[in-house]
């Protein structure tokens, strides 16, 4: 009898242990289920649906190359898989383990019909814990702990062929899923920057290996392509983290990058321990935080979302996000900090916006990073640490980055572009600063104090 391979965020053939195990066991039925029920409020956002459409197209083609096909179904994953077992007489479901709380529930519900494999992390999060079995709160301690567990073996090759079941179950068609935006098509800018799918992911990985040694210095400059831009490929599992790990020489030069890559593992360790980390403060004291709500706050939130805060570096980041589905890491920190501290708006509002706009939106990475910037999380970062957007902008030489994303400011000099208000040369079509830096900072500090007190 056939074996089902349940694809989720592991849309690849290389280093895909679930696929390999099924291929060795007999005929294979590869399945992808679009499940908008099980994740509840965390169903896939708009930008990711664009990515998913193209990534599934690519996976289906690659599976055809092995003599197989991809069966598409919609609905609650557990129900769909149970129905498929009934329909096909499949013996087992093979899948790679995932740590989103809804996937863990679904995995539990499937019980021993499901055979789980490790493949999404450098090391299984359960293994990298403190002496007493708790997840690490501090990243540097986690990194040390990881060293004993990084996969020593080389990533797995794809199966050479896949044997087909005697009868294929019915499949829906991708076009019926309406994953691509139409009216309006806000994703036109995505096409210019991104090619979803495994082949493109492997190409990007190979390109990055060539320039990995420069990462340490280049990654902080938002106008440069200094980071790998592998995040959406890694989120959708088009390339495995351990394949990327093994593609790099293990030298001091690549250590900064490997440390960033391991952040993915760290964040899943956090959500493994605290499944609702995306919805509640890591430290309860912040439940009393006097976040701004009302109409004024709503207006400010909108200005932040649309890149019209009057802070060029913030606006450039938010516009890059909207246009391309991605934002540079340094600028993610600046924009997030600005929303939470200067505008005193609940971090969860920003987290939601990112979830819908990011092509790499990831439950663990998004929630842990938002709470880290907010200082509300289980780690050691404090709310009172407030980033100064203007000096950040100058320090990371964001002039060219601003010129690219805020065309109203194109003509301004390097000296004026970070703060056109102050320089007295703000163009009419660019907004004044929504709040002064000092004013925002003081309001945030007072609010932070009220919580501690
Ligand atoms: P590189 O610098 O080349 O890093 C390589 C890979 O390591 C990344 O692709 C990513 O998988 C991982 N990585 C790097 N930095 C981090 C980090 N701080 N936390 C977790 N993983 C990391 N990343 C996401 O993948 N999804 C998110 O939803 C997400 N939301 C974020 C929200 C905020 C407020 C902040 C500050 C950061 C967020 N990040 C998120 C982390 C980081 O910004 C992105 O992973 C990175 O910018 C992706 O670009 P890159 O692939 O070029 O990264």
Domain boundary (274, 299, 324) is at: 274
Distance from residue 293's CA to the centre of ligand 1 (Å): 29
Long-range contacts at 427-431 (CB < 8 A, ≥ 24 apart): 430/310, 430/406, 431/303, 431/308, 431/309, 431/310
In a domain, 177, yes or no: no
For ligand 1, pick from 228, 237, 369 the residue to mutate: most ligand atoms within 8 Å of CB. 369
Ligand 1 geometric centre to CA of 369 (Å):
9
Model confidence, pTM: 0.98
The protein residue whose alpha carbon is closest to atom 11 in ligand 1 is 231
Q: Is 329 a catalytic residue?
A: yes
Residue 399 lies in a domain: yes
- Cα of 110 from ligand 1 centre, angstroms: 31
Cβ partners under 8 Å of residue 57, min gap 6: 174, 197
In a domain, 165, yes or no: no
Q: Are 53 and 151 in contact (CB under 8 A)?
A: no
Tell the residue nearest (CA) to atom 33 of ligand 1: 369
Distance 230 CA to ligand 1 centre (A): 9
pLDDT at 169: 98
Q: Which residue has the tokens 């301690």?
A: 141
| Average pLDDT, 10 consecutive residues per value, the chain (453 residues) | 98 97 97 98 97 98 98 98 97 97 98 96 93 89 92 83 97 97 90 97 97 92 95 98 92 92 96 96 96 98 98 98 97 98 98 98 98 92 92 93 97 96 96 97 96 73
Q: What is the CATH number of the domain that holds 315?
A: 1.10.579.10
Helix (H) or strand (E) holding 247: helix 241-247
Strands 3-7 and 114-117: unpaired
Indicate which residue's Cα is closest to atom 45 of ligand 1.
231
Which residue is closest in CA terms to ligand 1's atom 42?
329
Mark whether 143 and 89 lie in a shared domain: no
Residues 331 and 416 in one domain: yes
Q: How far is the CA of 255 from the centre of ligand 1 (A)?
A: 16
In sequence order, the 6+-apart residues with CB closer than 8 A to the CB of 215 are 226, 227, 228, 254, 256, 257
CA gap 229, 327 in Å, rounded: 10
Boundary-marking domain end, from 244, 274, 304: 274
Quote the pLDDT of residue 184: 86
The region, left, alpha or beta by phi > 0 then psi within -120 to 50, assigned to residue 174 is: alpha
Residue 50 among the catalytic residues: no
Nearest to 390 by CA among 342, 348, 354, 355: 342
Domain residues for the domain of 288 are 284-452
Same domain, 218 and 113: no
**Cβ contacts of 357 within 8 Å, gap of 6 or more:** 45, 46, 47, 321, 322, 325
User: By the 8 A CB rule, do 23 and 123 touch?
Assistant: no
pLDDT at 453: 54
Rounded CA gap, 377 and 371, in Å?
5
Pairing of strands 114-117, 93-96: parallel
Q: What is the pLDDT of residues 366-405, one digit of tens each?
A: 999 999 999 999 987 889 999 999 999 999 988 999 999 9
Decide: residue 238, CB within 10 A, 0-12 exposed, 13-18 middle, 19+ buried: buried
- The domain that holds 127 is classified in CATH as 1.25.40.80
Res 397: pLDDT? 86
The last residue of a domain, from among 248, 274, 300 = 274
| 70 close to 63: Cβ distance less than 8 angstroms | yes
Q: Is 177 a catalytic residue?
A: no
Q: What angle do CA 202, 203, 207 make, to 5 degrees?
A: 120
Map tokens 């802070």 to a residue.
311
Closest CA to 207 of 230, 179, 240: 230
* Same domain (yes/no): 107, 43: yes
User: Do the Cβ atoms of 311 and 402 come closer than 8 Å?
Assistant: no
* Any domain includes 303: yes
Our mutation pick for probing the ligand 1 site, out of 278, 329, 346, 363, counting the most ligand atoms within 8 A of Cβ, is: 329
* Residue nearest atom 31 in ligand 1 by C-alpha distance: 366
DSSP 239: S
Burial 399-427 (b: 16+ CB within 10 A, else e): bebbbbbbebbeebeeebbbbbbeeebbe
pLDDT tens-digit readout, 269-289: 999 999 999 999 999 999 999
Residue 258 placed within a domain: yes
203 and 307 belong to one structural domain: no
For residues 216 and 260, membership in a common domain is answered with yes
Residues 112 and 127 in one domain: no
The DSSP symbol for 122 reads S
Show Cβ contacts of residue 166 under 8 Å, excluding neighbours closer than 6 positions.
27
Annotated active-site residue in 102, 304, 370, 372: 370
Asked if residue 28 and residue 2 are part of one domain, the reply reads yes
Q: Are residues 319 and 331 in the same domain?
A: yes
The answer to whether position 279 is within a domain reads no
**β-sheet bridge partners, residue 72:** 32
| Best mutation site among 46, 51, 229, 231 for ligand 1 pocket (most ligand atoms within 8 Å of CB) | 231
Report pLDDT for 152: 65
354 lines ligand 1 (CB under 6 A): yes
Distance CA 113, CA 102 (A): 18
Long-range contacts made by residues 214-220, C-beta under 8 angstroms, separation at least 24? 215/254, 215/256, 215/257, 216/253, 216/256, 216/257, 219/256, 219/257, 219/260, 219/329, 220/330, 220/396
Query: What is the Cα–Cα distance from 372 to 173, expressed in whole angstroms?
Result: 40
Q: How far is the C-alpha of 398 from the C-alpha of 390, rounded, in Å?
A: 10
| Active-site hit among 347, 355, 372, 405 | 347
Query: Which residues, in sequence order, are bridge partners of residue 33?
Result: 73
Active site residue 372: no
Q: Is residue 393 part of a domain?
A: yes
Please tell me whether residues 403 and 437 are part of one structural domain: yes
Q: Report the CATH number at residue 88.
A: 3.40.50.620
The residue whose CA is least distant from atom 6 of ligand 1 is 261
Among candidate residues 82, 263, 394, 408, the one labeled active-site is: 263
Domain count, the chain: 3
Alpha-carbon span 107 to 100, nearest angstrom: 11
Indicate if 139 and 45 belong to the same structural domain.
no
Q: Would you list which residues are annotated within the binding site for FAD? A: 215, 227-231, 257, 360-362
Whether residue 170 lies inside any domain: the answer is: no
Same domain assignment for residues 203 and 269: yes
Helix (H) or strand (E) holding 116: strand 114-117
222: closest CA among 369, 403, 430, 432? 403
d(CA 164, CA 151): 32
């Amino acid at each position: 009898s056939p074996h089902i391979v349940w694809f989720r965020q592991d849309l690849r053939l290389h280093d895909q242990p679930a696929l390999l195990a099924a291929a060795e066991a007999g005929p294979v039925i590869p399945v992808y289920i679009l499940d908008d029920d099980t994740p509840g409020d965390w169903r896939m956002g708009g930008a990711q649906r664009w990515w998913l459409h193209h990534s599934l197209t690519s996976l289906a083609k690659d599976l055809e190359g092995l003599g197989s096909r991809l069966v598409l179904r919609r609905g609650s994953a557990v129900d769909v898989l149970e129905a498929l077992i009934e329909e096909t007489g499949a013996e087992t479901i093979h899948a790679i383990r995932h740590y989103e709380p809804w996937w863990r529930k679904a995995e539990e519900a499937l019980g021993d019909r499901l055979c789980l494999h490790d493949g999404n992390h450098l090391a299984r999060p359960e293994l990298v814990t403190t002496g007493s079995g708790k997840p690490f709160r501090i990243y540097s301690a986690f990194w040390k702990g990881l060293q004993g567990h990084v996969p020593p073996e080389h990533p797995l090759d794809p199966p050479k062929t896949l044997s087909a079941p005697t009868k294929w179950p019915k499949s829906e068609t991708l076009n019926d899923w309406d994953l691509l935006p139409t009216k309006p098509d806000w994703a036109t800018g995505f096409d210019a920057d991104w090619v979803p799918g495994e082949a493109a992911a492997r190409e990007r990985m190979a390109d990055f290996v060539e320039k990995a040694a420069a990462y340490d210095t280049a990654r902080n400059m938002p106008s440069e392509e200094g980071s790998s831009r592998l995040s959406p490929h890694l989120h959708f599992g088009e390339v495995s983290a351990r394949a990327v790990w093994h593609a790099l020489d293990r030298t001091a030069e690549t250590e900064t990058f490997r440390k960033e890559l391991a952040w993915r593992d760290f964040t899943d360790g956090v959500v493994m321990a605290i499944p609702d980390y995306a919805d509640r403060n890591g430290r309860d004291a912040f439940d009393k935080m006097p976040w701004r709500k009302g109409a004024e706050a709503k207006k400010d939130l909108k200005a932040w979302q649309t890149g019209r805060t009057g802070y060029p570096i913030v606006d450039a980041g938010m516009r890059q996000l909207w246009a391309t589905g991605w934002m540079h890491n340094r600028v993610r920190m600046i924009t997030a900090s600005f929303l939470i501290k200067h505008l005193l708006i609940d971090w969860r509002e920003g987290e939601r916006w990112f979830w819908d706009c990011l092509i790499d939106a990831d439950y663990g990475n998004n929630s842990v990073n938002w709470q880290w910037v907010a200082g509300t999380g289980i780690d050691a970062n404090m709310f009172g640490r407030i980033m100064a957007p203007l000096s950040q902008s100058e320090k990371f030489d964001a002039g060219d980055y601003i010129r690219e994303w805020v065309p109203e400011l194109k003509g301004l000099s390097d000296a004026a572009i970070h703060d056109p208000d102050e320089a007295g040369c703000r163009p009419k079509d660019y907004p004044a600063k929504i709040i002064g830096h000092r004013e925002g900072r003081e309001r945030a500090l007072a609010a932070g104090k009220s919580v501690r007190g």
